[in-house]
Chains A and B, each alone.
Chain A
Amino acid sequence: MTETTMNIENAHPLDKWVTPEIAARNDRIEIRPVALEIKQLHKSFEHKGKVNKVLNGIDFTTHKREFICVVGPSGCGKSTLARLVAGLEQKESGHILVEGKEVTEPGPDRGMVFQSYSLFPWMSVKQNVMFGLTQAGMARNTAEAEALQWIDLVGLSKFVDAYPHQLSGGMKQRVAIIRALANQPKILLMDEPFAALDPKNRLKMQQYLLEIWRNIDITIFFITHDLDEAIYLADRILVLDANPGRVKEVVKVPLPRPRADDTLLTEEFLATKAYLESLVHPPETEEEESMEDKLSMVRMVPVNAEVPDIY
């Protein structure tokens, strides 16, 4: 953190990175129609009579074709929030509106991509992508033609007839994404979709995703615990607080679009990351203390005399 950011009071620490172009783009986003509106959303889980409040009055609005990332400490309710929007969980109170319509159950207007790839293992890549289309009543031929286009888009033409177990993790996730997108949902919910990929593949998938997002009419609600990923992808980052989950802050990412390949090394990127870091991991937590205990235990373990010290 630089001196200047510490000294400025009232003003947001990231304001100084917001160029006029970025500000103009943010303004353009805000006048778009609302895609998803979450109002005073509460959610608790009950376990053996004990009520566990997971989400406590979430308020959040996204506009059409916005790219939202959600970050927050583990267990703060990110997945729960996405599942509520998908309709896979029932809310306790509050409202979730997708283009003005209340969410009551899962539906094809909200696609979801899970961390576990969840492709249907008995279907080929093509059949997986066709699944939602034929479900919606599209004729087989049309659905097939459309599926092939999608498969081509993510460079899997050679694998149309392959089964999921024959694909790598990254390929599976690409299929999962186009399977959701083929349905033309209004919102694509993604719950840590790239968490299981190695860094190189992950970057490639992120670029794929941005490219797809640029070309189609979709609002993306992307959950991650990787701050680099969140900054690289998002227009705005929803930072949640844990126990119970609340909106801590919604951070507008002060980076121009399209994102450059070396964005991750720029000063504004690092400043944004440092700021998010301070939001997500406030200094001095209990966890750190317990770590210290463990470290001193490790030192008591006898050390092989041949290698007395690893430093």
Chain B
Amino acid sequence: MAIFPKSWTTPRVELDKASKIWLTIASFAIPLLLWSLVSYVPFLWHPDIKVTDPGNVSYFREGTLVKKEIFEREVDKRLAIKGENPANIPQGIPANPVYLPAPHEVALAMYTAFTTPPKRFNEPWLHQSLWHSVQIIFWGFFWSMVFGVPLGILAGTYDSASRIIEPFTEFFRYLPAPAFGALAVAILGIYDAPKIAIIFIGTFFQMVLIVATTTRKLNMALVEAALTLGCKGKSLIRRVILPGVLPDLFRDMRILLGWAWTYLIVAELIGTSSGITWFITQQARYKNFDNVFAAILMIGILGIVTDMILAKLGKRMFPWHNAG
């Protein structure tokens, strides 16, 4: 009856090490397996036909992808003619549309995308585009933190600050950041500044509210203990509230940083397209969808690696947190 080990189905119990590793691997292996199945098993999906021999169909070329119905119609047309030369009948193999490259093609593209020089000499290499994106994220998020964290902590500490800060923030966070694109360009020009502004708008308002909520969750007993020890006002914030919420703040920032990446794509489209988004749109235009996938995966890898580093760092910096 037990399909899974008991520890897998016990609520909120830490798994053994082997299970953890297996499940983590499976977490990536399952989507990859599905993708591989669809890509390599010819009878799964494969809505198109890749022409291997165009026969005498005038608009078929070797290697072109055509819809299955169209291909079959052409074949049927020729089969209907008695004594038709078999060489005139087109040949082909089932294929997936161009926008779903197989895993190995994407894997190859991951490598070649970096080694292929840009089409025009003044265009950036892929690693330059990526680096540009990272900088946009960094500065947008940096300015968000510079203003968002102090405001959030204030709002979480003083009810008065909460009343003056939070209602407007709550309203503003419903305004979609991309909607400010045109405005940002008009004010800040067409280069990086409006892009940084979009990241800022996309994360700042959420950040204030999340930091305020986190701050409010700090155990009141700690604040009261500090008060009875003669600590109040600015030094209360500096010595008790800030260090007390720091581990949770750190976790909040990790989550918000993920959001910053989602705003990146919109941000990079406004003004002059740039960074990884420029690369993606460029490659999509040339129908190099393997490169598009590779770029998307790179964003994912960059994101998860940053997050893993930050998580490790967090454990290092806050050893007391969630212990005991």
Give chain A's interface residues, CB within 8 Å of chain B. Answer: 86-88, 105-108, 110-112, 114, 116, 118-122, 131-132, 135-136, 163-166, 176, 179-180, 183, 189
Partner of A108, one of B221, B228, B319: B228
Inter-chain contacts of B222 with A (CB < 8 A):
118, 120
B225 within 8 A of A: yes
Smallest Cβ distance from A238 to chain B, in angstroms? 20
221-239 of chain B: CB within 8 A of chain A: 221-222, 224-232, 235, 239
Q: Which residues of A contact B235 (CB under 8 A)?
A: 135
Which residues of B sit under 8 angstroms from A119, Cβ to Cβ?
225
Partner of B229, one of A87, A122, A132, A189: A132
Q: Does B244 contact A (CB under 8 A)?
A: yes
Cα of A301 to Cα of B296 in the assembled complex, Å: 63
Expressed in whole angstroms, the minimum distance between the Cβ of A70 and any Cβ of chain B is: 17
Q: How far is the CA of A122 from the CA of B218 in the complex (A)?
A: 13
Residue in A106, A112, A120 whose CB lies within 8 Å of B240:
A120
Interface contact B228-A166, CB-CB below 8 Å? no
Note all chain B residues with C-beta closer than 8 A to A179: 229
A-B contact pairs, 22 of them (CB 8 A): A88-B227, A105-B232, A108-B228, A108-B229, A108-B230, A111-B229, A112-B225, A116-B219, A118-B222, A118-B224, A120-B225, A120-B226, A120-B244, A121-B321, A122-B243, A122-B318, A132-B230, A135-B239, A164-B320, A165-B323, A165-B324, A180-B229
Q: Which of A118, A122, A135, A183 contacts B221 (CB 8 A)?
A: A118
Partner of B232, one of A106, A122, A189: A106
A105 contact set on B, CB distance < 8 A: 227, 232
Give the contacting residue for B230; candidates A88, A121, A136; CB below 8 A.
Answer: A136
Q: Is the CB of B230 within 8 A of A163?
A: no
Most buried by B among A86, A106, A119, A183: A106
Q: How far is the CA of A183 from the CA of B226 in the complex (A)?
A: 12
Given contacts A165-B324, A180-B229, contact A118 B239 (CB under 8 A): no
Other than the given A86-B228, A116-B221, A135-B229, 18 more pairs (CB < 8 A) read A87-B228, A106-B227, A106-B228, A108-B228, A108-B229, A108-B230, A114-B221, A116-B219, A118-B219, A119-B225, A121-B320, A121-B321, A122-B243, A132-B231, A135-B239, A163-B319, A163-B320, A180-B228
- Identity of the chain B residue whose Cβ is nearest the Cβ of A116 in the assembled complex: B221
Q: Does B246 contact A (CB under 8 A)?
A: yes
Closest B residue to A164 using CB positions:
B320
Task: List chain B residues, Cβ under 8 A from A176.
Answer: 225
Interface secondary structure of B, over-half rule: helix
Q: Which residue of B lies closest to A136 (CB)?
A: B230
Residue from the set A118, A136, A164 with the largest chain B CB neighbour count within 10 Å: A118
Q: Which residue of A lies closest to B318 (CB)?
A: A122
* B324 to A, closest residue via Cβ: A165
* Chain A, residue nearest B235 (CB): A135
Q: Which one of B221, B227, B229, B246 has the highest number of Cβ atoms from chain A below 10 Å of its Cβ?
A: B229
* Best-surrounded residue of B235, B240, B320, B321 (most CB of chain A within 10 A): B320
CB of A122 within 8 A of CB of B224, answer: no
CB distance from B111 to the nearest CB of A (A): 45
CB contacts (< 8 Å) of B324 on chain A: these are: 165-166
For A114, the chain B residues whose CB sits under 8 A away are 221, 224-225
Residues of A contacting B231 with CB < 8 Å? 131-132, 135
**The 6 nearest A-B residue pairs measured at CB:** A108-B230, A165-B324, A106-B227, A132-B229, A118-B221, A112-B228
- On chain A, the residues within 8 Å of B224 by CB distance are 86, 88, 106, 112, 114, 118
Q: Whole-angstrom distance between the alpha carbons of A119 and B224 in the complex?
A: 11
What is the bound-complex CA distance between A166 and B324, given in angstroms? 7
A131 to B244, CA, bound (A): 14
Residues of B within 8 A of A106 (CB): 224, 227-228, 230, 232
The chain A residue sitting closest to B230, CB to CB, is A108
In the bound assembly, the distance between CA atoms of A121 and B243 in angstroms comes to 9
When the two chains form their complex, are residues B320 and A183 in contact, meaning their CB atoms are under 8 A apart? no
Could you tell me the distance between the alpha carbons of A189 and B224 in the complex, rounded to whole angstroms?
13
Q: In the bound complex, how far is the Cα of B222 from the Cα of A131, in angstroms?
A: 12
- Bitwise, B298-324 to A at CB < 8 A (1) or not (0) is 000000000000000000001111011
